[in-house]
């Protein structure tokens, strides 16, 4: 998905315990591998077993850290974070890892996901520590739930963090993958539904936890296994210890396979690239068309376009060139450039597409602005026909578990037929993969997937205010 109206990634977390390694450098490279999951801020916390140092700032990993910074962060264990804000403003104060002083030392914590019961947790925190100032009317849109979890963990006096975690974790609801640390121990935890991915890997003399297996590959760690839903890990000089704080009720996010995860990542034993190729194959079977060329919207549409070409027999080609250096930026483009919109990121190869009947494969349609501009641009470049194929079903519902989709009122799919959306985009035809087809492509049982953005069936209760708003939007 490209452009300004697509789904925003959530966050990436990383943790390493390795007494013989430069853990700050390893974390830096791990965060590089997870950069796609969050581009607003980045941070690393490191411990030399005596004290925890935290360095974080706004920007990409390469903008926040340099060689001198990393050298100033010596230690034996570290955690790191790349952030896209799904709760809390995009400001330095909300960058992660968060830090709290406890009676027993320090605690740093990084979080991927979104909690749905923050009001309940705020009340609990006020009972545990009346000195905590929690605004009476704080809402999910204005709170950083990571800071809330960190404050809870630090509110149990001299009690060891391992026993504190076993009290706090069962009270958290929603999606959460946590890496956190004291001066001597690295911890990780995953929510009982396992909505977001989290894996553990082995170094020659150490351990790594990360949001995706690709991060393990980058730092030279061998994949051991996924952190189980409802599992809590502790890692120190005694090795890795595991405890269960909740019964596993797997509901992995199906959108990780569609767009969020890197194609070179493995989730639940399935390579994401292979899943996306199968999605394209299913899409070709469900929505065939007579055309001359299949082209992807790079980069996330590429594997599915390959699959569509394989199944349809239509040649695959590169019809769009992506500018790899255009991403989120602190330099705002001029109004003239802003009006060019999608051309900042994509430009058509006229000699490839001119006079051709095109199948254009993209990962999703959220508001439709990007695809509308894309269809117009391809026609201007000489395409004879433009047939849009989408490797996910219509996005009908917002996500409350860590993806920043538009609200239901802003989504293009609710209330419109596929034909009406096609006319809005200006395409010659439009086909979305069915939810059954997408599910089959993942090879994960439907009852082990969260598909709420497509079917509205939320596996974890959402906040009452948001639930009521959805009812109002659905009726309107």
The full set of domain ranges for the chain reads: 11-250, 273-475
Q: Residues 359-417: pLDDT tens digits?
A: 999 999 988 888 999 999 999 999 999 999 999 999 999 999 988 766 787 789 998 99
SS3 for 323? coil
| pLDDT above 90 coverage of the chain, percent | 75
Angle, alpha carbons 398-400-402 (nearest 5°): 110
- At residue 144, the pLDDT reads 73
Q: Residues 82-114: pLDDT tens digits?
A: 977 544 444 566 789 999 998 889 999 999 999
Sign of CA dihedral 210, 226, 152, 449: positive
Plot region of 378 (φ>0 → left; ψ -120 to 50 → alpha; else → beta): alpha
Query: Residue 312 contacts by C-beta under 8 Å, 6 or more apart in sequence?
Result: 284, 288, 289, 294, 359
CATH number of 273-475: 3.40.50.2020
Whether the bond between 155 and the residue before it is cis, its omega within 30 degrees of 0, is no
Given a cut of 50, the residues of the chain with pLDDT beneath it are 1-4, 86-90, 134-143, 328-332
Closest CA to 179 of 81, 100, 75, 106: 81
May I ask the CATH class of domain 11-250?
Answer: alpha beta
Summarize the annotated binding site for [4Fe-4S] cluster as residue ranges: 253, 399, 450, 453
Backbone phi, then psi, for 99, in 5-degree steps?
Answer: -140, 140
- The DSSP output letter for 212 is S
Candidates 1, 2, 11, 305; catalytic one: 11
Active site residue 177: no
Summarize the annotated binding site for Mg(2+) as residue ranges: 300, 362-363
- At residue 132, the pLDDT reads 60
Report yes or no: 106 and 183 within 8 Å, Cβ to Cβ: yes
Prediction pTM value: 0.90
């Amino acid at each position: 998905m490209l452009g300004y109206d697509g789904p925003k990634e959530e966050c990436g977390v990383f943790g390493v315990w390795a007494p013989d390694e430069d853990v700050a450098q390893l974390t830096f490279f791990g965060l590089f591998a997870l950069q796609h999951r969050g581009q607003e801020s980045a941070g690393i916390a490191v411990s030399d077993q005596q004290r925890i140092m935290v360095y974080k700032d706004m920007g990409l990993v390469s903008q926040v850290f340099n060689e001198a910074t990393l050298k100033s962060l010596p230690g034996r264990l570290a955690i790191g974070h790349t952030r896209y804000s799904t709760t809390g403003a995009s400001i330095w104060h909300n960058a992660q890892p968060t830090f709290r002083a406890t009676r027993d030392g320090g605690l740093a914590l990084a979080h991927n996901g979104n909690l749905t019961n923050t009001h309940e947790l705020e009340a609990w925190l006020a009972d545990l520590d009346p000195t905590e100032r929690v605004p009476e009317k704080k809402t999910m849109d204005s709170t950083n739930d990571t800071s809330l979890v960190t404050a809870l963990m630090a509110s149990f006096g001299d009690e060891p963090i391992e026993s504190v975690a076993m009290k706090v974790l069962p009270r958290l609801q929603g999606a959460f993958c946590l890496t956190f640390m004291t001066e001597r121990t690295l911890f990780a935890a995953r929510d009982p539904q396992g909505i977001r991915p989290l894996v553990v890997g082995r170094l020659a003399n150490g351990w790594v936890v990360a949001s995706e297996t690709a991060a393990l590959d980058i730092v030279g760690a061998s994949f051991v296994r996924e952190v189980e839903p409802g599992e809590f890990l502790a890692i120190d000089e005694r090795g890795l210890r595991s405890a269960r704080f909740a019964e596993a009720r797997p509901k992995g996010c199906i959108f990780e396979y569609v767009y969020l995860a890197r194609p070179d990542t493995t989730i639940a034993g399935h390579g994401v690239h292979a899943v996306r190729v199968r999605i394209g194959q299913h899409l070709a079977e469900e929505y065939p068309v007579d055309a001359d060329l299949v082209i992807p919207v790079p980069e996330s549409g590429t594997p599915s376009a390959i699959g569509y070409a394989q199944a349809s027999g239509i040649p695959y080609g590169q019809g769009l060139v992506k500018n790899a250096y255009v991403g989120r930026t602190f330099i705002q483009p001029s109004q003239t450039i802003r009006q060019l919109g999608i051309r900042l990121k994509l430009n058509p190869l006229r000699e490839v597409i001119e006079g051709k009947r095109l199948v254009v494969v993209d990962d999703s349609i959220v508001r439709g602005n990007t695809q509308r501009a894309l269809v117009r641009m391809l026609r201007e470049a000489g395409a004879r026909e433009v047939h849009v194929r989408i490797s996910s079903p219509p996005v009908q519902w917002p996500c409350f578990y860590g993806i920043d989709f538009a609200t239901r009122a802003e989504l293009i799919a609710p209330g419109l037929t596929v034909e009406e959306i096609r006319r809005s985009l200006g395409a010659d035809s439009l086909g979305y993969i069915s939810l059954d087809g997408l599910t089959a492509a993942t090879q994960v049982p439907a009852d082990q997937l969260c598909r709420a953005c497509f079917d509205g069936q939320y596996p974890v209760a959402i906040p009452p205010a948001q639930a009521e708003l959805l009812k109002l939007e659905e009726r309107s």
